A and B are shown apart, each in its own frame.
Chain A
């Protein structure tokens, strides 16, 4: 019997993607479509005193300009504007009033018959402001740092754990100490596809919305609540998403504006943002961290203090888990952890690939490297010496943790044993060579979800759930799981997602979709199997008349007797006997909280990196890197490898290239283009290798998977920074490590 889970199956949406047939939110052909162009605030704080729209409106083909002055009445309460990923606070409402809260705030939407005309008309609109002083300079306002407000989101993002032991005493007594301040700039997700919504105005005021989102039902909820519409009148579809990396976890403002225009004009409307406008909503927050580590001479870490300060907006308290990781990675008896926010005149930050994890863990892992150097102990040895099979703060054992194996296999593949520990010890021509390594960790979580499985009239299996595939491979792995569960050839299985009409699924992010939706798909297919077996048993002259479910298996699109597989009924036959009607089953999968609460659950990784640093120019290149991942069961080694490689590229980007630069004179991100916001191009990426170590986990979820979207990025930035130290002897704690910091 052929099985698919665990095999390097090609993406089932591959042909659609390589032929240009895959349709993204702005690409649906809609009759009588009109185009919206968003006008963005030039100032960061103040009040609009006047918007002159006459010139634009006089142009033939310009239909309307929507501003705060002519928008319809909408929902009153903050609650109506809260989406599934809304942090505590008062969500931003586009066109609410004349107040400007951040630079680039959408203040008007021009709607015209063509895209070009809308864009031109936008240039004719004149806005007058009363300007107020804005505060966007993070470091200048650290004194205003305060504890984050708590809310529903705090359940998924708990505040730092209480202190353990006595940090002050232990640190003071520690013979070996390191301390440092770590900084990284704001970063923007910049998926290749810009945010867009195509709102189709249907008969009876119903809306069908093609939206760029990581949760079709999240956008549906938002639109329904804000515009006071019934769920059944709002359908959101997001079959393909051109990358998101967290930016699609909240509905973005083009959705609001497109829906508003469509309802007011009773016409279909499309609104796409520009690349510049992709810098006017959520981003990874600038964060400053102080870390102090104390250790004994033999390398036992005895004390840690980790304090983080992050920015948020004036209206919402976005938080992430930055300082909680040390207790999950190291058995340090004395720890003190704090996390505070500084509200500024910027848009609310937003989850971006490994939010918090790739902020806090790299700082910690650089400090560990510094400690290893100071102690004269190999960085891998120091980590093995301080290894833990328990999460110290939760005081729970790990459901599985093959991090040791990651160290062993990663080091072997990389050739770590040949490392000369002395910085500046290796040269290649005019470049200095450095080798560094670091550990990565990310939560392995599971949420509740529903899925429907249907055996169609032509004997094929169709499975659906309202989740998303942002390039992660959801379509493919769900198809594999469904095919295996009911013993169907993969070509006869169709998995559909990204439609709010489908069974309930949470927003796709945080590396939890394989576990969450995968479990739902498995359960739905199992339930469908039970139903089909019952039907088969009732068929005339059924060979299963005396069999139980345990006596049969599903293989080759048949139900077969385990004891004699030649005794079989084809699934097609069952449908035919069902009066030609499809057979369907919708099921819910919920995590087994009683079992899960006894364990800590995480994916782990170890990254090994070689850098080449040009001594004269300060340029850094990652020439090769190996990441070994303990991520539970690997459903599809081909797409899994892509996920980890992508994460490694993001790690290189974070360590060496990416930063959004604010000009505080304007309170605006100035490098708001793909020419000036640097992300790796092909030539920046050299030889990357991925290892998946065997890891069996019977606790984490029924599939034994841990999710791979985040774990690939977490270890890389510190491994690179540590390699730069090894190459140059310079410890750079401010990311990205650009050449100016090395000269």
Chain B
């Protein structure tokens, strides 16, 4: 035994900035209106609730996954006004007046989205946990219109980690939907 280290404040992902609000009072909840998959939802949320937690914990739309909560893995990717974002890095209150699309809203009345079908056909997943994020990200990437080659797809899909290592099949599935020449 060498020394008393003293008082250590435990590490957390959210630490209160002194002066931002009075110590140990909780942020007030407000009505937050979110349009998700075409439906309007009103939630009583504190400003500290991320879009990801709003989806998973308050709306039980658990298709959007939490893989790191730090914007490092892409599992929480959703589409906001057609653009892909990490919902863990976005506060729910910031996304009022937008159209949010999650994996649950991707399939239409006529069945699965072509990317969903292609992921099944190409076995572009294993455990399935990163899959909703991969598919939403691929929709966003196609919307962006920058991917012209296989290497472009690999580069532009690199914000979505698949620990099972399904990348070759993910690329195959996206190529099929984009009707890219796989030898490009």
Assembled-state Cα–Cα distance A681/B161 (Å): 6
B36 to chain A, nearest CB (A): 12
Contact B72 A24 (CB under 8 A): no
Contact string, B163-179, partner A, CB cutoff 8 A, digits 1/0?
11111111100000000
Chain B residues with Cβ below 8 Å from A274 are 13, 69
Interface members, chain B 133-184 (any A CB < 8 Å): 135, 151, 153-155, 157-171
Which of A128, A192, A679 is close to B127, meaning CB atoms less than 8 Å apart?
A: A192
Residue of B nearest to A116 (CB): B48
Given contacts A119-B13, A682-B157, contact A645 B169 (CB under 8 A): yes
B142 to chain A, nearest CB (A): 15
Interface members, chain B 1-28 (any A CB < 8 Å): 1-16, 24, 26
Which of B10, B26, B75, B168 is close to A122, meaning CB atoms less than 8 Å apart?
A: B10
Which of B14, B61, B131, B151 is close to A18, meaning CB atoms less than 8 Å apart?
A: B131
A485 to chain B, nearest CB (A): 24
**Is A518 on the interface with B (CB-CB < 8 A)?**
no
Given contacts A19-B116, A40-B10, A115-B53, contact A192 B165 (CB under 8 A): no
**Is A20 on the interface with B (CB-CB < 8 A)?**
yes
Contact B53 A123 (CB under 8 A): no
B96 to chain A, nearest CB (A): 18
**Is B90 on the interface with A (CB-CB < 8 A)?**
no
How many of chain A's residues touch chain B, expressed as a range?
Answer: 35 or more
B140 to chain A, nearest CB (A): 14
Contact string, A1-26, partner B, CB cutoff 8 A, digits 1/0?
00000000011011111111111101
Chain A residues with Cβ below 8 Å from B72 are 275, 673-675
**Is B95 on the interface with A (CB-CB < 8 A)?**
no
Which of A61, A117, A131, A675 is close to B5, meaning CB atoms less than 8 Å apart?
A: A131
Chain B residues with Cβ below 8 Å from A681 are 158-161
**Is B56 on the interface with A (CB-CB < 8 A)?**
yes
Chain B residues with Cβ below 8 Å from A684 are 158
**Is B73 on the interface with A (CB-CB < 8 A)?**
yes
B123 to chain A, nearest CB (A): 5
B157 to chain A, nearest CB (A): 4
Candidate in B56, B64, B68 with the most chain A CB atoms within 10 angstroms: B68
Assembled-state Cα–Cα distance A165/B125 (Å): 48
Chain B residues with Cβ below 8 Å from A21 are 63
Contact B12 A18 (CB under 8 A): no
Contact A649 B167 (CB under 8 A): yes
Which of B7, B103, B169 is close to A19, meaning CB atoms less than 8 Å apart?
A: B103
Chain A residues with Cβ below 8 Å from B15 are 123
Chain B residues with Cβ below 8 Å from A492 are none
Contact A243 B123 (CB under 8 A): no
Candidate in A40, A243, A639, A641 with the most chain B CB atoms within 10 angstroms: A243
Chain B residues with Cβ below 8 Å from A58 are 24
Candidate in A19, A20, A133 with the most chain B CB atoms within 10 angstroms: A20
Assembled-state Cα–Cα distance A680/B168 (Å): 12
Contact string, A269-300, partner B, CB cutoff 8 A, digits 1/0?
00010111000000000000000000000000
**Number of residue pairs spanning A and B whose beta carbons lie under 8 angstroms apart:** 244
Contact A13 B7 (CB under 8 A): no
Chain B residues with Cβ below 8 Å from A129 are 4-5, 8
Residue of A nearest to B3 (CB): A131
B73 to chain A, nearest CB (A): 5
Assembled-state Cα–Cα distance A211/B89 (Å): 26
Which of B2, B12, B125, B128 is close to A131, meaning CB atoms less than 8 Å apart?
A: B2
A597 to chain B, nearest CB (A): 34
Given contacts A15-B112, A471-B128, contact A642 B123 (CB under 8 A): yes
Residue of B nearest to A649 (CB): B165
Which of A14, A470, A673 is close to B68, meaning CB atoms less than 8 Å apart?
A: A673
Assembled-state Cα–Cα distance A131/B6 (Å): 9
Which of A15, A29, A133, A641 is close to B123, meaning CB atoms less than 8 Å apart?
A: A641
Interface members, chain A 409-430 (any B CB < 8 Å): none
Which of A61, A126, A133, A638 is close to B8, meaning CB atoms less than 8 Å apart?
A: A126
Interface members, chain A 596-646 (any B CB < 8 Å): 638-639, 641-643, 645-646
Residue of B nearest to A124 (CB): B24
Chain A residues with Cβ below 8 Å from B170 are 682
Chain B residues with Cβ below 8 Å from A130 are 1, 4-5
**Is B34 on the interface with A (CB-CB < 8 A)?**
no
Given contacts A18-B119, A274-B69, contact A126 B9 (CB under 8 A): yes
Contact B24 A241 (CB under 8 A): no
Given contacts A133-B2, A682-B160, contact A10 B121 (CB under 8 A): yes
Contact A685 B70 (CB under 8 A): no
Residue of B nearest to A241 (CB): B127
Assembled-state Cα–Cα distance A55/B75 (Å): 34
Chain A residues with Cβ below 8 Å from B16 are 120, 123
**Is A177 on the interface with B (CB-CB < 8 A)?**
no
Residue of A nearest to B152 (CB): A683
Assembled-state Cα–Cα distance A55/B10 (Å): 13
Contact B168 A645 (CB under 8 A): yes
Assembled-state Cα–Cα distance A122/B12 (Å): 7
Contact A192 B65 (CB under 8 A): yes
Chain A residues with Cβ below 8 Å from B57 are 114-115
Chain B residues with Cβ below 8 Å from A23 are 62
A52 to chain B, nearest CB (A): 8
Contact B112 A18 (CB under 8 A): yes
Contact A639 B123 (CB under 8 A): yes
Given contacts A119-B12, A123-B16, contact A20 B63 (CB under 8 A): yes
Chain B residues with Cβ below 8 Å from A472 are 126
**Is A229 on the interface with B (CB-CB < 8 A)?**
no
A514 to chain B, nearest CB (A): 15
Residue of A nearest to B103 (CB): A20
Residue of A nearest to B104 (CB): A20
12 additional A-B pairs beyond A17-B128, A18-B112, A673-B72, beta carbons within 8 Å, are A15-B112, A24-B129, A115-B57, A120-B16, A126-B9, A126-B10, A130-B5, A275-B67, A470-B127, A647-B165, A682-B157, A686-B154
Can you list 23 contacts pairing A with B, beta carbon distance less than 8 Å?
A10-B123, A18-B112, A19-B63, A19-B103, A20-B62, A20-B63, A23-B62, A49-B4, A116-B14, A116-B49, A122-B12, A123-B12, A123-B15, A127-B8, A129-B5, A243-B163, A275-B73, A276-B13, A471-B127, A639-B123, A642-B164, A643-B126, A683-B151
Nearest 5 A-B pairs (CB), nearest first? A20-B63, A649-B165, A242-B129, A471-B127, A471-B126
